Structure 1
Amino acid sequence: MLRLSSLLALSFALLAGGSGASAQMAQVPAAACSAPADLPPALASWPNAKPLQAAGERKTLAAATLTPAQAVAMSLLATPKVAYPLRPEKPGGSVSYGGLARFTVAQAGTWRVALSTPAWVDVVRDGKASISTAHGHGPDCSGIRKMVDYALEPGDYVLQIAANGSDKVTLLVTPLS
C-alpha cells in the first residue's frame, strides 16, 4: 500500500511539474512584428478582408458567397445554430462558433483555405468532404494561423467552419494553380 501511495505522489509531482513547465513555455513572448509580412500574390488580399455574415443553413448560402482570392472577415454563429450539410469531424461544442459559405471553382487545381484561427474547416461538394492535400501555417506576422490545401475540380462548394473559439474569423479561399 505504501508503494502505491508513493507512486501516486510521484505521478502527481511529475504532473504538477509538467504543468508548470507548460505554463512557463506559454509565457514565452512571440517574436515581435515590426511590420506586416510580405505576402505572396495568392494571399495578397488578406489585409483587406471584406465583411461577410456566415450562413447557418443551406437555404441561406447565397447570401454568404465567397469571391475566390478575396479575404473576408466572417461573422460566425453559435454552433447550435448551424445546420452543417455534412457533420464536421470536429464540430465543436455548444460554446463554439461556426458557419457556412459557398464558393465556385472555375478551374481545376490546388486551392488554399487560409484562416486566422485554428478552426476546423471542411470543403464539401455533393455531400462529401474534399480530402486535404497539405496543411501549414501562414507567413510570420501575417495573421494567418492555418492553411489547408485541396485539389478541386470545377463546380460549387460549401465551406464549413466549425469549432472556432470566437464569433469572428478572417479567411481566404484562393487558387494556387
Structure 2
Amino acid sequence: MAPAATCTAPVAPTGELAPWSSPSALNAAGDAAGLRAANLPVAQAARVTLLSTPEVKYPLRPEKPGGSVSYGGLVGVEIAQAGTYRVALSSGAWIDLVKQGKAATSVAHGHGPDCTGVRKMVDFALTPGRYTLQLGANGDAQITVLVARLP
C-alpha cells in the first residue's frame, strides 16, 4: 500500500467530484418521517450535520450502526436515471443506500483523490427511485457527502 500523500494545500477535485468544493448545509433526519426536509440532490455536495447514534431510527439496521458516542443520520436521494452512482464521504463512516426496505449492493470501494478531503468513495448500480442514504458510525457530528452519477 502506498503511503498517504503529504498535502501542503487542499486540491479541488475535478470531473463528477467537482461539486465537492462548494457544499451546502444540510441537517440529517433522525427517522423516515424527517426525510422530507433532508434531501440531497445528485451532483450537489452537502456538509451534513448528524445526530447522536441513539437518536437515529434507521429504516434498515446498518451492518455497522456505531455506538453511543458516534453520529449518524438519514438523507433522502432521488435517482432519476439508471446508472452507476458514487457516494463520496469526508470520513470513513458506514453507509447504506436503502430502497423499499432493501440495501443496494456496492459495486466498488475506494479512496478519494489525494488532498481533496474525499476520504471514502462507494459505487452503486442504481435504478430510478427514492433512496435513503443511511450514515452511521461517524466519529464527528459533521460529514461532507456527495452523490454523483458516473459517466
The TM tier, using the shorter chain, reads: over 0.9
Letter aligned with residue 42 of structure 1: E
Q: Secondary structure at the match of 1:43?
A: helix
Measured in 2, the distance between the counterparts of 1:30 and 1:101 equals 30
Task: Map 1:57-96 to 2 at 5 A.
Answer: 57-96=31-70
Normalised TM-score (structure 1) = 0.81
**Alpha-carbon deviation of 1:127?**
0.2
**Alpha-carbon deviation of 1:39?**
2.0
* Structure number, greater radius of gyration: 1
Q: Secondary structure at the match of 2:34?
A: helix
Letter aligned with residue 18 of structure 2: A
The correspondence for 1:131, drawn from 105, 120, 123, is 105
- Number of residue pairs the alignment of both structures matches: 149
Q: CA offsets, 1:60-85, max 9 Å, x none?
A: 10100001100000000000000000
Residue segments in structure 1 that go unaligned for 5+ positions in a row = 1-28
Measured in 2, the distance between the counterparts of 1:120 and 1:110 equals 19
2:10 is aligned with 1:36: yes
The correspondence for 2:132, drawn from 158, 167, 172, is 158
Residue segments in structure 2 that go unaligned for 5+ positions in a row = none
Q: RMSD of aligned C-alpha atoms? A: 1.3
Higher strand proportion (structure 1 or 2): 2
Task: Map 1:45-64 to 2 at 5 A.
Answer: 45-64=19-38
2:121 is aligned with 1:143: no
Correspondence for 1:18: none
**Alpha-carbon deviation of 1:36?**
2.9
Identity between Structure 1 and Structure 2 (%) = 59
Q: Secondary structure at the match of 2:130?
A: strand
Q: Secondary structure at the match of 1:87?
A: coil
**Alpha-carbon deviation of 1:136?**
0.1
Measured in 1, the distance between the counterparts of 2:133 and 2:61 equals 12
Normalised TM-score (structure 2) = 0.95
Q: Secondary structure at the match of 2:10?
A: coil
Measured in 2, the distance between the counterparts of 1:63 and 1:151 equals 25
Q: Secondary structure at the match of 1:34?
A: coil
Q: Secondary structure at the match of 1:61?
A: helix
Which of 1 and 2 has higher RCO (CA within 8 Å, sep 6+)?
Answer: 2
